[in-house]
Chains A and B, each alone.
Chain A
Amino acid sequence: MRAIVATALLLAASPALAESPRVGSFQLQMGGYRPNIDSEFGGTATPYRDIFGTGRNFIYKAQVAGSLYAGFGTLDLGFGIGWFQKTGKGLIQGTTTPSGDDTSFRILPLSLSLTYRFDPFVEKVPFAPYARASLERWQWWVTNGGGGTAQVIGGPSGQGATNGWSAALGLCFLLDFLDPTLAREMDRDVGVNHTYLFLEATRTKVDDFGSSKSWDLSDEKTIGWSGGILFAF
C-alpha cells in the first residue's frame, strides 16, 4: 500500500519537475555609454562635449534569441535592438553660449549576435559564463530646435547608419538557485526554464569598420560595463 501511494505521488509530481523544451532566450540590458565622436578631431574640436557635456549616459538594449544548440552549453543566435538618447542645448552660432533650442542625438542600435553560454553545471553551481560576438548596425539621427532632423544648409542631413562589431564576456547568475519552487512554477506556467542576472564587459567598435568617411560611435571606454536580466525559455 505504501509503495502504491509513493508511486502515485511521484507520478503526480513528475510533470511539474520536468523542464519544458528549450527554444531560445530574451534579455533586457542597460549599461553606460558615451560615443567616441570627438576622437576624430584629435583635440582640435569637441562638438559632442560642447553640446552634451562630459557625462556618460545609459544605453538600453533588448535581445531575443533562438537556440541553435543546447547540449554542452547553449549557442544562441539573437537579434537585438536598443535605444540611446542625449539632449543638450544648441549653441548660438559662433559662440559657446547655449541657446533656447534643444538638440538631441539618438541612436537605435541593431545587432545580430552569436552567444555561447556555458551552463551544463548551472543547476549545481549557479553561475554560467558566456561569450558573445555581434555585428552591429546603429541607426542614428540628430534633431534640431524645431524637433526635425538637423540639416546643414546646402549640406548633409543629420541621419544615417553606422556599422561595426562588438565582443563581450559575461557572467550569468542563476536566480532559480534562490527559489527553485518559484522557478519550476515559472517553467510550468509560462515556459521560462531559467532566469539569470548577468554582468557583461563589452568591447564595441562601430565606425563602419574603420571607414575614413564615418564617425566613431564606439564607446569612449575601451571596455564598457552593462548588466541585465535574461530569461531562457
Chain B
Amino acid sequence: MRTRVALLLCLSSLPPSAALAQTAGVISIAETSDTQDGGQNDGVINIAECSGVNQDGAILTPTALNLTWLLSGVPAAGTYYKVYATTQACPTSTFTPSTDIVDLTSGFQLTNGQSGSWPPTGNIQAVTEILVPLTVGCAVSTTVTNVNLCVTVYDSGQASVQDGAKATAVLVVDTRLPATPAITSVTPGDSALTVRWSAGTGGPTVSYYTVTATPVPPDASHTNCNPGGAAGSHTVTGAGSTSYRLGGLTNGACYDVTVTATSDALNPGTPSAAVPGSPVPVDDFWRLYQAAGGREQGGCGGSAGMLALLALVPLARRLRRRRP
C-alpha cells in the first residue's frame, strides 16, 4: 500500500541573496512505502523500517523516502540543488561529505534546467541510502537519532553554496523499545479472560497494548482444562490502559496470556511473562435468577399500568379546563 502523508517542516529564514531570489523554503517528507506504521509516522523510522525486517522475521519492502522541497523564488539557470543528510546541523557554507555528511544527490543530480519543473522533487530509493553511509544502526537503543536533511543551492560551477537558498527537515530514527508490562491477574469469564497488568517503568510512551490468548495443551501449569481453544488477540489503545476483557475464547480451554506494549514509534516491546488462564461458564444476575426458578420472564410487563397512566390524561385535561 502506498501512503503519502506529508510532514511539513520548516526552515530558517535567511537573509535574501543578492545573486538569487530564493530565501526560505519548505521540505515535505513522505514515506512512499510506509509498511510498518500505516503512514502515521512519516519522518519517523522505527526498527522494522530501519532494518527492513518485520517483528516476525519477514523481509519488508524497503522504505523509500520521497522528498519534496520548495524554495521561494526562481534560481538562475544552471543552478544546482544538492541534498545532504547529516547527523550534524545543516552547514551554512559549502558541504564536505564525510562519515556524518552524505551527499544524497550523487546518484541523481538535480538541476533546475534539467528537471524543467518547479519545485523539483527528489526520490531517495531506500532509507538505507541515508542510514548506512551515516553509520546510523538499527539496533535497539535508549535514545533517538535525528538525521537532518538539508537542501541547498549551488552555483553553476558547484563551487559555492548560494546563501539563503536552504531548506531543512529532520528524519527521526527511533529504535527504542517500550517497557515490558507485567500481568497482575487473569480472571476467568464466560468465553473470556479478564486480564490486568501494570505498565513497566522507563522507555518511550506506549501507543497501545496487545493482549493475546494463545491456546496451549494441558500441562503442569495448565490443569483442569482442554486443548484446542480458539485464539484471541486485541489491541488496547492508550498508555494508561491496564485491563481488558478478551472475549471470543473457548470455555474450558487452556490458554497462555501475554501483554505486549508498542511504542509511539510503533516498535513492539518484549511480551510479558505468560500467565495461564481458562474461561468458564458464568451465571450473570439474570441467569442466576432464572436458575433459581424466578417468575419474571422479561418483556414489557402487564398492560394495566399503562392503561392506568392513560386514564389520567382526561383527568388532567378536565382539571386544566377548570383553571381560571
Residues of A with Cβ closer than 8 Å to B? 37, 40-41, 44-45, 47-48, 50-52, 68-69, 75, 77, 88, 90-93, 99-101, 103-105, 112, 114, 135-137, 142-146, 150-152, 155-164, 208-209, 211-215
Query: Are the C-beta atoms of B288 and A50 separated by less than 8 Å?
Result: yes
Given A68-B319, A144-B190, A208-B305, are A90 and B283 also a contact pair (CB < 8 Å)? yes
Residues from chain B with a CB closer than 8 A to the CB of A41 are 292-294
Asked if B57 is at the interface of the complex by the 8 Å CB criterion, the answer is no
**Which residue of the partner chain B has the closest CB to A212?**
B295
Given A69-B323, A91-B283, are A157 and B302 also a contact pair (CB < 8 Å)? no
Asked if B18 is at the interface of the complex by the 8 Å CB criterion, the answer is no
- Chain B CB within 10 Å — which of A101, A136, A214 has the most? A101
Query: Are the C-beta atoms of A214 and B283 separated by less than 8 Å?
Result: no
User: In the bound complex, how far is the Cα of B284 from the Cα of A52, in angstroms?
Assistant: 11
Asked if B234 is at the interface of the complex by the 8 Å CB criterion, the answer is no
Query: Are the C-beta atoms of A144 and B284 separated by less than 8 Å?
Result: yes
Q: How far is the CB of A98 from chain B (nearest CB, A)?
A: 9
Interface of B is mostly: mixed
Residues from chain B with a CB closer than 8 A to the CB of A155 are 290
Query: Are the C-beta atoms of B316 and A159 separated by less than 8 Å?
Result: no
Between-chain CB contacts (< 8 Å), 22 pairs: A47-B285, A47-B289, A52-B285, A69-B322, A92-B282, A99-B189, A99-B282, A100-B194, A135-B308, A144-B284, A145-B192, A145-B247, A146-B190, A152-B287, A156-B298, A163-B301, A163-B305, A163-B306, A163-B308, A208-B304, A211-B302, A214-B295
| Number of A-B contacts defined by CB within 8 Å | 169
Query: Are the C-beta atoms of A158 and B312 separated by less than 8 Å?
Result: no
Query: Are the C-beta atoms of B306 and A137 separated by less than 8 Å?
Result: yes
Considering only CB atoms and an 8 Å cut-off, how many residues of chain B contact the other chain? Answer: 43
Closest 8 CB pairs of A and B: A163-B305, A100-B187, A100-B194, A158-B286, A150-B286, A45-B292, A103-B284, A215-B296
User: In the bound complex, how far is the Cα of B298 from the Cα of A157, in angstroms?
Assistant: 6
Query: Which of A150, A162, A211 sits near B285, CB closer than 8 Å?
Result: A150
Q: How far is the CB of B197 from chain A (nearest CB, A)?
A: 14
Asked if B58 is at the interface of the complex by the 8 Å CB criterion, the answer is no
Query: Which of A68, A91, A100, A214 sits near B323, CB closer than 8 Å?
Result: A68
Extra A-B contacts (17), CB below 8 Å, given A90-B285, A91-B283: A45-B293, A48-B289, A90-B282, A93-B283, A100-B189, A135-B308, A137-B305, A137-B306, A145-B192, A145-B245, A146-B245, A146-B247, A162-B296, A163-B301, A163-B305, A208-B301, A212-B295
**Which residue of the partner chain B has the closest CB to A88?**
B285
Q: How far is the CB of A155 from chain B (nearest CB, A)?
A: 6
Residues from chain A with a CB closer than 8 A to the CB of B305 are 135-137, 163-164, 208-209
